Structure 1
Amino acid sequence: MTTIALVTAISATGHDEDLPPLQSACERAGLTARALAWDDASVGWGRMGAALLRSPWDYTERLPEFMAWCERTAHAVPLLNPLPVIRWNTDKHYLADLAAVGIPVVPTEFVEPDAEPMEALQRFLAAHDAAEFVVKPAVSAGARDTQRYQRSQEFAAGNHLARLLDAGRSALLQPYLPAVDADGETALIHIDGRYSHAIRKGALLKIGDTSPLDPHAFGDIRNREPAEDERRLADQVLAAASRLLKLEQPLLYARIDLLRGADGAPRLLELELTEPSLFFAQAPEAADRLAQALLARLADGTVRTRTDIG
C-alpha cells in the first residue's frame, strides 16, 4: 500500500483538525497516510509515495529553513502542491502579480525593508480614505504579527511597521474593509481544480486589541453557500494563478479567501496554496474528494508511486 506523508510541523502537533479525517479518507481510498513533521530530521521522505503539505504552520518564522527543506524534499518525493507553487505562494507579493493581470484584490501597498516606515504609512493614508487599515507581514499565516488600526493610531501603526522592516521583513498595508465585521470572509475550497465547498470566517482582528493572536485560531467558522460572483472570482483567481505559474494540471487543493469591498463586489484577500486549512469538519465528504484526487494522480503516473515502503 502506498504511503502518503501529510506534512505538518512539530509545533502544530494536535492543532490541525483536518488531519484525522484526511487520514481516514486516505485509508478508505487504499492509501496509508502518516502525519509527519517537516522539521523532524528522522523522517525518510524518499520512502513516501508523495508529500502532501497540510500544516507546516511555523514556516513563516523559519522561511529559509522551510524552503531549503522543500527544495531537498522535492528531489526525493513529489511535493503537493508542487515546489514552484510553494515558492510563489509563501510570500504575499503574489497579490501584486494577480492584480497586475486584472484580478480584483483588496487594495494592497507593499513596504520593503529599506523604506522609511512613517513616510510609507503616510503615503498610504493619503492614498486611501479608509477609516481603518491593517499592517501585516508579507510572509505570514494565521494573522501572526497582523494588526488593525484606526487612522488616529498612526504612531502605533508606524511602530508596528518599523518593527517588521527592522527585522528584514517586507510588510503590506491594506484598508480594513468593514464588510468583514458584518459578513465575515468567504473561503472557497477547490480540490483538483473544482469547487468543493465554502465556509464563512468571522473577523479575527479587533480594534484596540494588541494581544497576540493564537496562531492556530480561525475565529467563528460556519458553512456558507457562496454567491455567484464569488464563485466566478474564485475561478478567475485560479485560472490566473495557473497561467502565471505555467501549471500543466490543476492545483490539487486551493483556498480562495474573499471579502466584499465598499462597492459590494468581492475582492481577493488571500490565495492559500501552501498550507491552508480546508475545513473538513464543515464538509466531511471533502476529505474523500482530496484522497480520491490524490489516488487518481498516483494511478495515472502524475505522482510517482512507491511500493517498496517498509
Structure 2
Amino acid sequence: MTARAPRIGIVVTDAYAPDDPDPDTPLLLHALRQRGAEAAAVVWHDERIDLAAFDLLILRSPWDYPDRLDEFRTWLDRAGSATRVLNAPETVRWNLDKRYLAELEGAGVRVVPTVYAASADAAATALATHDTGDGQATDRGTGSGARVVVKPAVSAAARDTGLFAASDPRALALATRIVEAGGVAMIQPEIGELTDGHERALYLVDGVFTHAIAKGALLAEGGGLRGGVYVENPVVVDATPAEHALAQDALRAVRALTDGSAPLYARVDVVTSTAFGPCVLEVELIEPSLNLHVAPEAIAVVAEAILRAAGDDPDRPVSVGTAIPGS
C-alpha cells in the first residue's frame, strides 16, 4: 500500500504591510510540493479552515499576532488540539514575552543588559541610571553612554521601539505608554555596534546552523525607524565562532526552559560589542523571516526538516472529506 502524501499547512496571515512581504512561504510551498507533499498556506485567524486536515502546521508569517494576542493564544490552543504545530505551542507561548531573556541569562547565556519596567516610576528610575546629565551619548558601545533603547516585552518588527538619549522625555513617554497599555517596558543601554548595523541573525534548523544574515541598522535616534518604516536589507554574512557558540548555548537553554524539544527553526540575534562581547539580543522561535530568497541553499534544508517532522506520525487519522485549502 502506498503511503499518502503528508498534508502540511504553512501558517501565514492575510494582512502584510506593502513594504514587508513574506518571501519565504512561496519558496517553501514549492519545495514541499516538489518533494511530494500536499502543502498549502493557512491564514491563522481564518476559522473556516479545518486544522485537523493537516498532519503538520508550520508557523511562518502570522505577523499580525501582536495586534491580536489573545486571539493568537486561543488559536495556539485550538491548533495544538487539532494537529501537530511547530514550533510547539508551549515553546511559542514562552517566546511571546521577551522577559524570556532574563531566563536565558539565569541559565548562563549572555544577553544584552535589560531592565524590565512594569510601571512608569520603574522606567524613570531605569532611565536615570543611564543619564549622564547632558543628554549626549558618551562612550558609545561601552554600556555607560547616555542613549538607551526602549521597547515593549511583547512586540514584533520593532513596533514601539525607540533609540533615545536617556534624558529625552520621549524615552519616558514611550515607556509610560507601554506600561499604561498593560505591557512591560524593556530598557537597554545603546550598543554602538548594534546602532551601526552589526547585528547578526543566525538561523538554525533542527539545531543545525544554516546561514547568517545582517539586516542593517533599523532605529533612528529620537524614536522611530530609519526612513520611517520597517525595512530590512538582508545580506548573507559570516558569523564568528564565538557567535556560533552563543547561538548553540541559547538553544540548549531554550530546551531546558521549555518542553525539552529542539525547535524546528530558530533565529538567534546576536551582536558582538566592545562592552559585553558576543551577547544575545533575541531568540525568535515564533515567526522569523528565514530570508530564503537571499539564502536559497537553505530552502532544501528547511523543506527536508519539515518533511521529517511530518513523518513522525504518518498514520494519524485525517478528517474524511475535508478539502485542503488552497494557497
Question: What is the aligned partner in structure 1 of residue 279 from structure 2?
Answer: 267
Question: Paired residue for 1:289?
Answer: 301
RMSD: 2.3
2:171 alignment counterpart: 157
Structure 1 residues 303 and 66, CA gap change in structure 2 (3 angstroms)? farther
Deviation at 1:33, TM superposition (A): 1.7
Distance 1:302 1:254 in 2: 25
Counterpart among 65, 73, 93 of residue 67 in structure 1: 73
1:82 corresponds to 2:94:
no
Asked if the contact 1:148–1:206 (Cα under 8 Å) also holds between the matched residues in 2, the reply is yes
| Unpaired runs of at least 5, structure 1 | none
- Matched-pair contact (CA < 8 Å) for 1:109–1:124: no
How far residue 119 of structure 1 moved from its aligned partner, in angstroms, is 3.3
Q: From 11, 21, 36, give the equivalent of 2:15.
A: 11
Greater shift in the superposed pair: 274-283 or 115-124: 115-124
TM-score (structure 2 length as normaliser): 0.87
Give the structure 2 partner of residue 105 of structure 1: 111
Structure-2 residue corresponding to 1:133: 148
Q: Hey, what does 2:184 align to over in structure 1?
A: 170
Q: What is the match of residue 198 of structure 1?
A: 212
Q: Which amino acid aligns with 1:191?
A: V
What secondary structure sits across from 1:65 in the alignment? helix
* Unaligned residue ranges in structure 2 (runs of 5+): 133-142
2:212 paired with 1:208: no
Deviations 1:144-178 (A, max 9, x none): 1101002341x111111111111111110011110
CA distance in 1, matches of 2:121, 2:6: 50
State the identity as a percent.
35
Alignment of 1:243-282 (within 5 A): 243-248=256-261, 250-263=262-275, 265-282=277-294
Give the AA of the match of 1:199.
I
Question: Matches of 1:98 and 1:111 in 2, distance apart?
Answer: 18
Equivalenced residues, count: 306
Residue 93 of structure 1 aligns to which amino acid in structure 2? R
Structure 1, 70-79 or 285-294: larger mean CA deviation = 285-294
Structure 2 letter corresponding to 1:176: E
Change (3 A) 1:144 1:232: same
Kindly provide the amino acid, as one letter, of the partner of residue 207 in structure 1.
E
Answer with 1 or 2: which has the greater Rg: 2
Residue 131 of structure 1: how far off its partner (Å): 2.9
Q: Is 1:230 aligned to 2:243, yes or no?
A: yes
Q: Measured at CA, do residues 13 and 2 of structure 1 come closer, stay the same or move farther in structure 2, by a change above 3 Å?
A: farther
**2:139 counterpart residue number:** none
